[in-house]
């Protein structure tokens, strides 16, 4: 089968012929029909998360927002059948036995396997996965539309759910990319007053089309003043991998506000303890989600409350797409698909300078 293989950090991935995986007793083989390209794929490929580098499998097939159809299954698989439309997320497998798994935090499992990091992912024609961690996709969703929900969707859904944002509270979303444009919609669905912040006017227009109450260009010196002038944000969600986005988000919070850390800059972020104490702010991080979180966001999408702005590109474009992400030129989500399945949709690619 064809697959995009990463052999060394900071080197282009290479389309190669590799052996088609064989499912084990409790696994399914999925024919990939769409795989979203996440900024995490860029970080993994570039090796700029030092804490992750030691666990990255090499050679590696990237990709952890996978949607496709079951074409083979192991003898022990009972709940999935051939032809089922399914998705495979970042959380490839969790043990179910550690304290975190038993406490409802399987996304923090001490023995977890990670799709497209510690095991091969979906930048390929086929991928195998444990049936236990493979989720069915609602019939009303196309596989192209569903793929980004398996990371971008579940990640922001979990973060906002943990923040317990209430109707009419002010939510500021920093970074209107693959995660941010979904976060705007979830915030609107929760009844929050959503302000979208980005440096791209095209991305801000996308946020307005998805129900944002206000949009602010982060390059304006008055952007943060505008949020603080309304009393400050109850919750500021950062999906950007920019240190400056974190600084702006912290500064826009009202006293007792919550900073949600989702975007992952390669460099460390620091806030003055005196300001943290003076405002009694809360800083909360969130990483992807559990299987229950994933079922909830799939249900939201199935009910029409959340949709991903998606454009499909062929697998051979993988290096171009990764570079567009590095340069911040992607609004919404790009998914990679096998030849013949490309779709002309509302473009997720825009120039920002």
Mean pLDDT by 10 residues, the chain (353 residues): 96 96 98 96 93 94 98 97 98 98 97 98 98 97 96 96 92 95 94 96 94 94 90 96 92 96 87 92 94 96 93 96 92 84 42 33
Q: Which residues pair with 171 in a beta bridge?
A: 194, 235
Nearest residue to 178 (alpha-carbon basis) of 241, 117, 109, 116: 241
Contact between 329 and 352 under an 8 Å Cβ cutoff? The reply is yes
CA distances from 201 to 8, 102, 329, 352 (A): 35, 44, 12, 8
| CATH number of the 153-285 domain | 3.40.50.720
Nearest residue to 146 (alpha-carbon basis) of 348, 297, 270, 316: 297
What is the number of alpha carbons within 13 Å of residue 11 lying toward its C-beta?
12
The domain spans of the chain are: 2-151+289-337, 153-285
3-state helix, strand and coil shares in percent for the chain, rounded to the nearest 5: 30, 25, 40
Please give the CATH topology (third level) of the domain spanning 2-151+289-337: Quinone Oxidoreductase; Chain A, domain 1 (3.90.180)
Q: What is the pLDDT of residues 102-113, one digit of tens each?
A: 999 999 999 999
* Distance from C-alpha of 249 to C-alpha of 244, rounded to nearest angstrom: 8
Tokens 């966001």 correspond to what residue? 297
Q: What is the pLDDT of residues 221-276, one digit of tens each?
A: 888 899 999 999 999 999 988 899 999 999 999 999 999 999 888 788 889 899 99
């Amino acid at each position: 089968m064809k697959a995009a293989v990463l052999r060394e950090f900071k080197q282009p991935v290479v389309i190669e012929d590799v052996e088609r995986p064989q499912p084990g007793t409790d696994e399914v083989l999925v024919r990939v029909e769409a795989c979203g390209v996440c900024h995490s794929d860029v970080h993994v490929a570039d090796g700029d998360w030092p804490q992750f580098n030691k666990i990255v499998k090499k050679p590696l097939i990237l990709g952890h927002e996978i949607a496709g159809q079951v074409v083979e299954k192991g003898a022990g698989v009972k709940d999935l059948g051939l032809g089922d439309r399914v998705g495979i997320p970042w959380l490839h497998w969790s043990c179910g036995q550690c304290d975190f798994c038993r406490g409802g935090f399987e996304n923090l499992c001490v023995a977890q396997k990670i799709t497209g990091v510690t095991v091969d992912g979906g930048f390929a024609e086929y991928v195998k996965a444990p049936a236990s961690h493979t989720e069915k996709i609602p019939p009303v969703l196309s596989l192209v539309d569903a793929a980004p929900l398996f990371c971008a969707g579940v990640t922001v859904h979990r973060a906002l759910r943990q923040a317990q944002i209430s109707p009419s509270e002010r939510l500021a979303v920093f970074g209107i990319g693959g995660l941010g444009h979904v976060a705007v919609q979830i915030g609107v669905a929760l009844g929050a007053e959503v302000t979208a912040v980005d440096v791209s006017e095209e991305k801000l227009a996308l946020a307005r089309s998805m129900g944002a109450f206000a949009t602010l260009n982060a390059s304006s010196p008055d952007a943060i003043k505008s949020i603080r002038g309304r009393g400050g944000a109850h919750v500021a969600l950062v999906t950007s991998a920019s240190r400056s986005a974190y600084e702006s988000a912290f500064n826009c919070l009202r006293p007792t506000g919550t900073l949600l850390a989702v975007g992952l800059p390669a460099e460390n972020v620091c806030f003055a303890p005196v300001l943290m104490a003076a405002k009694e702010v809360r800083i909360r991080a969130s990483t992807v989600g559990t299987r229950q979180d994933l079922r909830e966001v799939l249900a939201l999408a199935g009910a029409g409350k959340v949709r991903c702005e998606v454009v499909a590109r062929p697998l051979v474009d993988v290096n171009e797409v990764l570079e567009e992400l590095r340069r911040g030129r992607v609004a919404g989500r790009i998914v990679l698909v096998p030849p013949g399945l490309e779709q002309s949709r509302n473009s997720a690619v825009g120039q920002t300078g």
